[in-house]
Each structure stands twice: as structure tokens, then as C-alpha cells.
């Protein structure tokens, strides 16, 4: 669930707008504005956030622009709430991550804005794009006024705003511009999507391309704060680990056939479990004769497992060494190439917290430590984009990354896995899940 620091990038990408999405300039921390033109994101996928323009817009099969913008705004509200008041109502004494681990006003990296500054900027992006969109719909070939985002950050004093107020204003601004996209989509005249507007640097947009450009802008900023979202999610589990264990202590009988199949295909095999949580799945695997290496990124889960008499490790699959321990086959002291030693990787309901752009690396790292023919079992929520949950197994805010089968299969294939099947099941509150069984090539 970890993430690498995000590089800066411009936002509204008009050189005359002097835009960027790094740390906002202050007298104490001036930064050189990024004035590159980013309109290329209309033609190809963004190598940073992974946004693909072909998946959005009026002719695309993905979610419509208005729905995507509203969903993104809801995520910002949840993140601002979680970072402003990260402690849930029930915080257990064993929690090892300090309360208030992330302050939305604090820049976790001096080269980037804080969560609050990003959110205020996204709010203003929605406002500016609404003005431009309305002008395109109501006028003929309007020319957009310049927007100096650095000046907006200074004059708006982003860093000193109230996080809850910014969250409310962001949602309102997103809904206001989404309503205009709704009106365009409902128009009986399809040519409204082709109405044009021109930026001061001469770049020409249609309503359709402006919408895609707008959506990439806010999606990219969500990617910019992915490390904070990951930290908040880990802190949520850490604060309520006993509650999570109690809520998930009983194994769904629907998993029994899959567990039996894994045990039959890798009898007595070594399992690397990612996200062991309260330890339920490991016990079921061991009951079938498998040997399990328990790991989790949440300190409280590791402490609970150890207290129950199990060996357990604090391990981040994105960053930490996944190889077996010294003395074991393929361990860190093995001679020659780092051997692929695990027979099974078990990742139940955990990879859904990994940022979308980080999951390919995680999947490849897991493949590197799995023997050829070894198995991967992973479950993730099905859907588009991301969502924050403040209900379910625990009440604290957690970020979930949703996946569709084609994209997930393509990702795993590129990471060295052969997907054998993708099953579907319905969880609590009618949540759709993907259940993946893959084999190491």
C-alpha cells in the first residue's frame, strides 16, 4: 500500500497560465513554475498517473465525465476528513501509528503541495473549467482568459484554509461543472461536443477534449497524493485492527474450493501471504498442509499475529525484500541468481489498497519470488476508479482501488503471470469482487 514520492507536473498546462502541481510557492519556499504544454495527454496515456484518454469522453466505454468528476471529488473529501481527524471513534490501545500521522496542511515532501493545497487547487480547477465549458457552449469560439495558478495559490492562501471547508467547496465545484457536462450529454444535438474554445497560447479544444483534459488534471492530482492515501489507509487498519479481526474472523465457505485447489496443486508448498490481517486465511492454508509466511504492512496486525504465537513480519510488497529468509530455499543468502522459491502467493483483499500505477511493480516483484508454475491468488473489488470507505469491517477511512477484468488481466500478464481464470462473487453490501487465479510463467 506504499507509494513512491510523486514528481511535480503542471495542471492547466497553458504556458501562459504558469501552472504546476508541485509545491505551491511561498516566500519561504519559492519554486520555479513549470510552463510546459501538457496537451499531449489528449493523445496518449499519462506515464505517471496512467490516465488513458481513450477510456474517457463521449465516445468512450468508460464512465462519463460527470460521474468520474463527482467520484474523484468524493475521494478528496474523504481524504481531507481522514487527515484532519484520522482517529476513529474506537482507537485501540495497541495501535502503533500515532494519531494524526498525516496533517493535511503539512507538505510530506518539500517539492510538493500538501493535501490541503492540492485540494484547494483542484477546487479552483473545477471552477475555471466550468467557466470555460459554459463559454464554449454559449459562445462561438471563445478565447479563454489566462489563469495564473501560482498567483491563485498565493492569493487564496491555500495552506491556511480550513480543510473541511475546502472539501465542501471542492465537491460543490465538481458538481457544478459536472452538471454542465450532464447537460451537454443530454443534448439532442451531438455536435455540441464539437464546439470549440481557444487558449491564449493558441491551443484549440472541443468540449469533448476539454472534458478529457479536465478529468486527467484532477485524476493526476489524486495520484499526486497517493502516498498520503496509503498512509491514511494503513493508519486506519492500525487503529482498529482488533475490530477488523473480529469482523473477518469467519472464513466464507465459498473460499473452501479455492483453498482445496491450491493445496492440491502445491502440496506442502511454501506460501507468501501478503496482507495477513487477523490471520484467518493463514490458518486455513496451514490446515491444508501448506507452510505460510505471514506478512502485513500494518504494525498492529503483525503485533497481533505475534501475540498469538505466529511468526509475522512487517512487510511492504512495493518496497521491501520479498525473498525467503536466509537459510531457506531462495533466501537472501542464496548463491547465484535470486531464486524464485514460493509455491503460492496469497493476496486476499489487500492489493486493492495499492495505487493503480504501483500494482504492476508489485505484481512483478511477487512473480520474481515465485517458482515457475507457482500460483497467485488475489481478490480485488470490481469497478472504475477509486473509492473511500468509512463503513464495513471498520469505520475508519480507507482508500480502495477498483479494477475491471481486462485491465487487471493485462497487468498481471505483463508482470509475468498467466491468468487461468477470473471469478466473480458478491460481498457485503452487494459489492462485486474479482477472484484471480494465475500461474507464474
Banded pLDDT at 337 (limits 50, 70, 90): very low
Name the percent of the chain lying above pLDDT 90. Answer: 71
Closest CA to 119 of 150, 165, 63, 50: 165
Q: Per-residue pLDDT for 82 more than 70?
A: yes
Name the percent of the chain lying above pLDDT 70. Answer: 84
Q: Cell numbers 490516465 label which residue?
A: 51
Banded pLDDT at 102 (limits 50, 70, 90): confident
The whole-model pTM stands at 0.85
Q: What cell numbers appear for 192 in the block?
A: 455540441
Q: Per-residue pLDDT for 330 more than 70?
A: no
Q: Which residues contact 358 (CB under 8 A, 6 or more apart)?
A: 2, 3, 4, 226, 318
pLDDT value at residue 393 = 82
pLDDT value at residue 395 = 83
pLDDT value at residue 91 = 56
- Write down the CATH superfamily of domain 15-228: dinb family like domain (1.20.120.450)
Q: What cell numbers appear for 339 in the block?
A: 531464486
Which part of the chain is CATH 1.20.120.450?
Answer: 15-228
Tell whether the torsion through CA atoms of 316, 317, 319 and 321 is positive or negative: positive
pLDDT value at residue 385 = 87
Q: Contact, 349 vs 355, CB < 8 A?
A: no
Find the mean pLDDT for residues 433-441: 98
| 286: exposed, middle or buried (Cβ count in 10 Å: 0-12, 13-18, 19+) | middle
Gap between the Cα atoms of 141 and 98, Å rounded: 54
pLDDT value at residue 62 = 57
pLDDT value at residue 215 = 96
Q: What is the pLDDT of residues 210-268, one digit of tens each?
A: 999 999 999 999 999 999 999 999 999 999 999 999 999 999 998 999 999 999 999 99
CATH number for domain 240-440, candidates 3.40.309.10, 3.40.50.150, 3.30.1330.120, 3.20.20.100: 3.40.50.150
Gap between the Cα atoms of 84 and 12, Å rounded: 27
Gap between the Cα atoms of 422 and 269, Å rounded: 23
Residue 83 phi, psi dihedral angles, 5° rounding: -80, -25
pLDDT value at residue 251 = 93
pLDDT value at residue 355 = 95
Which part of the chain is CATH 3.40.50.150?
Answer: 240-440
Find the mean pLDDT for residues 121-137: 98
Banded pLDDT at 29 (limits 50, 70, 90): low
Amino acid at each position: 500500500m506504499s507509494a513512491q514520492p510523486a514528481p511535480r507536473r503542471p495542471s492547466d498546462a497553458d504556458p501562459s497560465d504558469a501552472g504546476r502541481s508541485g509545491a505551491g510557492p511561498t516566500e519561504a519556499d519559492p519554486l520555479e513554475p513549470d510552463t510546459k504544454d501538457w496537451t499531449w495527454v489528449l493523445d496518449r496515456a499519462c506515464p505517471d498517473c496512467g490516465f488513458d484518454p481513450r477510456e474517457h469522453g463521449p465516445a468512450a466505454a468508460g464512465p462519463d465525465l460527470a460521474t468520474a468528476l463527482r467520484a474523484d471529488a468524493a475521494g478528496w473529501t474523504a481524504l481531507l476528513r481522514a487527515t484532519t481527524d484520522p482517529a476513529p471513534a474506537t482507537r485501540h490501545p495497541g495501535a502503533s501509528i500515532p494519531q494524526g500521522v498525516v496533517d493535511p496542511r503539512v507538505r510530506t515532501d518539500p517539492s510538493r503541495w500538501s493535501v490541503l493545497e492540492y485540494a484547494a487547487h483542484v477546487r479552483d480547477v473545477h471552477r475555471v473549467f466550468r467557466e470555460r465549458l459554459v463559454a464554449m457552449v454559449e459562445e462561438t469560439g471563445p478565447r479563454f482568459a489566462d489563469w495564473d495558478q501560482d498567483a491563485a495559490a498565493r492569493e487564496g492562501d491555500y495552506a491556511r484554509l480550513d480543510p473541511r471547508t475546502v472539501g465542501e467547496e471542492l465537491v460543490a465545484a465538481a458538481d457544478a461543472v459536472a452538471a454542465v457536462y450532464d447537460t451537454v450529454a443530454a443534448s439532442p444535438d451531438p455536435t455540441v461536443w464539437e464546439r470549440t474554445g481557444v487558449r491564449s497560447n493558441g491551443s484549440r479544444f472541443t468540449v469533448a477534449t476539454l472534458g478529457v483534459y479536465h478529468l486527467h488534471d484532477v485524476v493526476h492530482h489524486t495520484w499526486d497524493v497517493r502516498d498520503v492515501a496509503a498512509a491514511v489507509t494503513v493508519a486506519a487498519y492500525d487503529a482498529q485492527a482488533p475490530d477488523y479481526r473480529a469482523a473477518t474472523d469467519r472464513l466464507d465457505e465459498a473460499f473452501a474450493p479455492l483453498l482445496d485447489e491450491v493445496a492440491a496443486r502445491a502440496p506442502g508448498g511454501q506460501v507468501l501471504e501478503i496482507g495477513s490481517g487477523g490471520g484467518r486465511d493463514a490458518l486455513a492454508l496451514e490446515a491444508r498442509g501448506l507452510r505460510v509466511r505471514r506478512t502485513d504492512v500494518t504494525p498492529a496486525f503483525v503485533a497481533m499475529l505475534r501475540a498469538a504465537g505466529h511468526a509475522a513480519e512487517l512487510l511492504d510488497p512495493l518496497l521491501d525484500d520479498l525473498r525467503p529468509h536466509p537459510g531457506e530455499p531462495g533466501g537472501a543468502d542464496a548463491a547465484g541468481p535470486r531464486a524464485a522459491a514460493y509455491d503460492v502467493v496469497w493476496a486476499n483483499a489487500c492489493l486493492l489498497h495499492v495505487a493503480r500505477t504501483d500494482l504492476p511493480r508489485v505484481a512483478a516483484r511477487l512473480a520474481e519470488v515465485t517458482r515457475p508454475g507457482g500460483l497467485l491468488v488475489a481478490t480485488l473489488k470490481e469497478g472504475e476508479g477509486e473509492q473511500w470507505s468509512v463503513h464495513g469491517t471498520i469505520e475508519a477511512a480507507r482508500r480502495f482501488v477498483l479494477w475491471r477484468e481486462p485491465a487487471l488481466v493485462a497487468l498481471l500478464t505483463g508482470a509475468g503471470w498467466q491468468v487461468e481464470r477470473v471469478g466473480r462473487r458478491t460481498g457485503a453490501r452487494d459489492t462485486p469482487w474479482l477472484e484471480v487465479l494465475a500461474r507464474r510463467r
